Structure 1
Amino acid sequence: MIAFGDNQSPLYNAEDRPPTLCEYFYVILSDGLRKNVVAFGFTGQKIYMRRVWSKVWSTDWTQAATCYGPDIEWKELPMTDKFIYWNDDKDKGLRLQYRKGYDAIYVAGTIKPVEGASLAYEELIATLPTGYRPSRLWYQLCALSGGGSFCRVRVGRGGDIVISGYDPDGANAIKNSIEIYLTIPL
């Protein structure tokens, strides 16, 4: 048995962990005397591996994989000229962005219509680029002006992100902000 948390174990050393400074979740793969210890960082983007033979470390930590790539990084999503960022001068983190996860596409940001713009049902907000589009039509609710009202957002197979409707109280609320947080299955 390998006991990382047991200070009587020959493998115990709280400082003996992969080089990236973060907390880890460990998985042990065993075929008897040989064991591979895999470390997944909770906040890191790398996976490390180390071997144990007869209860003694036989290798140093080696990077086994990188959980990083251009698809999973947030990218800014250009909008149509009818929308602007809600609070761009104070918080650029609220800009409309997209990224790909393991089994979904994520779109997040807070926007509002341009001053004086009249929005209709089926109003196009933005279009996801090729490679980030769903395989089927997707609908999701988004909060308006802090959550008192909602609008329905549709994402089509062509990547079009559209306001497909809003509740009767949403006509005024939609002018202030649209909080878009979409999880779209691939």
Structure 2
Amino acid sequence: MKLLETVKINQWNLQSRVVMAPMTRSFADLETGVIHPDTVAYYAKRAKHGVGMIITEGIAVSPEARGTIGIPGLYTEDQTEAWKEVTAQVHQEGGIIIAQLWHVGRLSHSAITGGLQPVAPSAVQANGLTHRVGLPYETPKAMSEEDIQKVIQDFTKAAINAQLAGFDGVEIHAAHGYLIDQFQFPW
């Protein structure tokens, strides 16, 4: 069966053609965004059982990038260090692991971001309630050019931290109404 055969894609030798899509696990500390030891076991188990490439759940690039509780980060040294064990275990089991970098923009609340007002291209409140917390979305701060540059720097730092943590690559989440996607709509 071709699905379970090895394949070479660019520089990667995958143990199978199975790619695991991102799924929010919320295995991180609520305050620090440092992953819980269960995260290591979760991703290593998938590689051990033949997943060729794993794309992680969304990993916040900054405190204000979080849209729900328990979301891991990749913007501090402690977060980066914790991810090293995940990548080492996945590699030991023969897998490739990609960090999905994420900023939710207006789809957040200051109760989730540590008191920081959500940011977005425009000051337009999203409809609905925050994931798992159930609070109505707040009206975000319309981003200035300085805010946009900060977010670019946050993504850059998270990508560098991903490399330091041993990830094989990064994926930038730019869909589903999150920050980058929000720039495409005339709110």
Scaled by the length of structure 1, the TM-score of the pair is 0.26
Structure with greater proportional strand content: 1
Scaled by the length of structure 2, the TM-score of the pair is 0.26
Structure with greater proportional helix content: 2
Structure number, greater radius of gyration:
1
